[in-house]
């Protein structure tokens, strides 16, 4: 079982900085996964920081602690549907977040994010931590 929650990068960042409230919340739930796109965003940020090695080490710990979800053909199909639908209703969202939404819908996970635009994705369950 993958778990119940899929964490966006805007939750992973404070979690990686040992935010006590988030750490406690993660401990209380049955399972947490990380989408590849959020991990990729964080790797980019780490490589553009002044503490590259430390930040990459922190990301390795996160990636080892949680399941990292990667796309397959089902995800790719869901991504295409979501992106086209969001464009049709005039509510495009950032591409990494479309991947997060596609993975969450595919695996029936709740997205944990502080981004408002996820509310435009039909069928997506979102929580703000």
Parent domain of 63: 5-127
Query: For 103-116, what is each residue's pLDDT tens digit?
Result: 999 999 999 999 99
Strand partners, 28: none
Strand partners, 32: 5
Closest by alpha carbon to 70, among 116, 6, 15?
6
The number of distinct structural domains making up the chain is 1
Q: What are phi and psi of 127, to 5 degrees?
A: -130, 150
Closest by alpha carbon to 115, among 123, 107, 106, 101?
101
Write the CATH number for 23.
3.40.50.1010
> The pTM is what?
0.91
Q: Where are the alpha helices (DSSP H) in 1-129?
A: 9-16, 20-28, 36-47, 52-65, 73-88, 95-107
**What tokens does 11 get?**
């939750």
Query: For 31-62, what is each residue's pLDDT tens digit?
Result: 899 999 999 999 999 999 999 999 999 999 98
- Report which DSSP code applies to 120: G
């Amino acid at each position: 079982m993958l778990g119940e929650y899929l964490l966006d990068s805007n939750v992973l960042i404070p979690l990686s900085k040992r935010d006590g409230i988030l750490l406690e919340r993660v401990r209380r739930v049955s399972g947490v996964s990380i989408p590849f796109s959020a991990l990729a965003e964080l790797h980019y940020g780490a490589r553009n920081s002044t503490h590259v090695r430390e930040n990459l080490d922190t990301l390795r710990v996160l990636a080892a602690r949680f399941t990292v979800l990667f796309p397959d053909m089902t995800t790719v199909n869901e991504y295409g549907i979501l992106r086209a639908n969001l464009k049709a209703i005039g509510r495009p969202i950032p591409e990494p977040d479309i991947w997060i939404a596609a993975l969450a819908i595919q695996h029936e996970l709740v997205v944990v994010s502080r981004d408002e635009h996820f509310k435009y994705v039909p069928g997506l369950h979102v929580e703000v931590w």
